[in-house]
Structure 1
């Protein structure tokens, strides 16, 4: 049995995590602006909030990063060398073949010890202090009125997006915004892998994965943007969980927007160029995915979840474990077959032991699952 408490410990970033009660006697005048220099920037990652029906408050996360843009040649050479070593083989890729929007986020200087202040519907709140990797993370609690939801039913019946803005020093005219997805207590959510599930990556070939990640234009899996857009129209919430590093968030978000994928929360992997995990940059981490998904399931016990992944790495095993541990919440599991496997293979029988056969499908074409997924979403 998966231990949710232990799983949560796996995902705690190198940042300060605290709880701050908002909407109750806030003191906006007492809060200083974010301690940001003119050559530093803030990037917010889309996260989620839930309504606590027992305490009648909204609980949500603020997560972001403080960094100084950098494009040094030494870091560039170091990263390219690490990428080539990570494929454990000789890969002939010229340094100029790397796309700038993919490689640049790895070259920034992470800024630690930076306090971040945000504005939510006209009120300012402390949002955390950045850790060694530049990330800051804080849990916030608010009543509905402070979020502009006072006129709606308690807890809400639909999903909505809350916009947060960084409060900057008086002379700083820049703007850094973020999104918090406030998700209703009941409904349907999709938890989706990214690589080889909705974006062609070829994870089973490390050299091709490197090229598809850093040197080629991203390509959507045929039919997936349309399927996800149709689901979003029915009110489904989306959570994108991947072994890709947080540095790829911006190019991934741009790709999602261009292809018409619905907006949602992102749950990626922490990585620093100076970490000993450098050679594992392109590898998926089972623990990372579980640590992201388990809190979603425990935060929304009355929602039903559709899990989409692929057969390239550990998605069948991860999803099978979750279906056994949370049988009332997992409505369906859909695995894109990228390994030409047979559903009767021992791997799937083992990975999905105890999961009813009508709750999981190994598919190759989106048309095979479109109606089934749509039915579950309704």
Structure 2
């Protein structure tokens, strides 16, 4: 998603500022706290969850993801230090300091391990998930019963036993049957202007500017949503989960709603942080793993995959199409200025994939007139 140099600049300046501003060890779990016993200062980020049918019956399974951490008391101090570091790079903050605070605070949150949560999905069975790992993360698929009604979107209400009981948190659950259509979309420079290939502009887009939609993409996604009969939407991004709250709000305000899948990148991985986020091969493997998982959830769906040419989307989507040709309906790749848009790259990437299944575009209008539901992809 980001270039390696950008991450080095942003992380080094922000982290060095944080070390001087806050004596709490950066991102390290506090091991002597009781496992499974939440503190009154704990906070939980519950991500929206996809739900899929279990076998041939009426049972549903939800794939939950959660992050538990200690509330960052000095988050404004950290934000102020990060703001100073960003401005030192020649980036104007102006009246966007609140964006910097909101988008940076989870990078410095201290994780809590061993935490369990009780979840209540409207119209479905209540369930429990846990425990969170040493990095405060949990990812678990749990049965939620047959569910009442035919709601595609349900509210998940959560609470945590112990001192935290009664303090609730919420997310959405998105149900989808095994058949029909699904759309899997990248985020950065596919639907959101991120300037991935420009270090300074990328840093500004990540932490400072209001998120901006790529011109014409909201209209294209609205058209696909109608013509594909209200398909299941999934947003697969190389962004770390720390950016989830702001990205989720942007997507929900601008595009069809659906769960967003982010990378589980934590500062306990700090020595490998740059490699995990910036390396095309690692990013590609991560996306392939997540696409394989989505296909296992919905084995009979026809997927439309949408990405851009800045990193590994062409290679990733083509690989999935070669593995599961019946699962991929269309592949659309937005050509981004200054990316590797050589014809040779795409010929190599899409080797073995019928040319009728994929299309490169610069403007979304080039895709608007296609009958995607009928398999017209180019």
What is the TM-score of this pair, normalised by structure 1? 0.78
SS at match of 1:162: strand
Q: Per-residue deviation at 1:185?
A: 1.5
Output the CA distance in 2 between the equivalents of 1:139 and 1:105: 24
1:218 matched to 2:216? no
Higher relative contact order (Cα pairs below 8 Å, separated by 6+ residues): 1
Match of 1:198 in 2: 191
Whole-angstrom distance in 2 between the partners of 1:240 and 1:160: 17
C-alpha distance in 1, partners of 2:51/2:287?
A: 19
Please give the residue correspondences for 1:1-378 in structure 2 after superposition, counting only pairs within 5 Å.
Answer: 35-72=37-74, 76=78, 91-93=89-91, 99-120=100-121, 121=123, 123-144=125-146, 147-149=147-149, 160-169=152-161, 172-233=165-226, 234-259=229-254, 261-275=255-269, 276-280=271-275, 283=278, 285-339=283-337, 345-372=343-370, 374-376=372-374
Instruction: Give the 3-state SS of the residue equivalent to 2:274 in structure 1.
Output: helix
Is the contact made by 1:189 and 1:305 (CA closer than 8 Å) also made in structure 2?
yes
Q: What are the ranges of 5 or more consecutive residues in structure 1 without an aligned counterpart? A: 1-33, 85-89, 153-158
Are residues 359 and 123 of structure 1, via their aligned partners in 2, closer, same or farther at CA, if it must alter by over 3 Å?
closer
Shift in Å, 1:108? 1.6
8 Å CA contact retained: 1:71, 1:108: no
Taking structure 2 as the reference length, the TM-score comes to: 0.78
Unaligned runs of 5+ in 2: 1-35
Match of 2:10 in 1: none
The structural deviation recorded for 1:281 is 6.9
8 Å contact from structure 1 (residues 201, 213) kept in 2: yes
1:264-303 per-position Cα deviation (integer Å, ceiling 9, x unaligned): 1111111112322333475261111111111111221211
Count the aligned residue pairs.
328
Pairwise CA RMSD? 3.0
- Tell me the alpha carbon deviations over residues 224-257 of structure 1, each in whole angstroms, 9 at most, x when there is no partner: 1122233334211111001100010100011123
More helix by share: 2
1:44–1:179 contact (8 Å) kept in structure 2: no
| 8 A contact 1:69–1:107 mirrored in 2 | no
How far apart, CA to CA, are the structure 2 residues paired with 1:191 and 1:214?
Answer: 25
SS at match of 1:213: helix
